[in-house]
């Protein structure tokens, strides 16, 4: 799932949305990405649009349309 984003997080380039802890392993990456997807969807969509779309497809939800910035 969006391997290029995971690799970026592993080397500390996850931006504000994906803190370095997300780079510990794939399970933690998925957990952190999911948390940000629902809690800060605009930030995730802006910084990592590919990952946002991947999670959008996985969950069948678009939380950025339900929240204000």
What domains are defined for the chain?
A: 3-65 (3.40.390.10)
The confidence score (pLDDT) of residue 28 equals 94
Q: What is the pLDDT of residues 2-61, one digit of tens each?
A: 899 999 999 988 899 998 889 899 999 999 999 999 999 999 999 999 999 999 999 999
Report whether pLDDT(69) > 70: no
* Best CA proximity match to 34, nearest among 63, 13, 12, 65: 63
Report whether pLDDT(68) > 80: no
The confidence score (pLDDT) of residue 1 equals 59
Residues 35 and 69: their CA atoms lie apart, in Å, by 16
The confidence score (pLDDT) of residue 30 equals 95
């Amino acid at each position: 799932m969006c391997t290029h984003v995971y690799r970026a997080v592993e080397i500390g380039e996850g931006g504000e949305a994906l803190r370095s802890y997300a780079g510990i392993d794939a399970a933690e990456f998925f957990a952190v990405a999911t948390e940000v997807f629902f809690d800060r969807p605009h930030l995730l969509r802006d910084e990592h649009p590919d990952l946002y779309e991947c999670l959008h497809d996985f969950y069948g939800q678009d939380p950025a349309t339900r929240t204000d910035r």
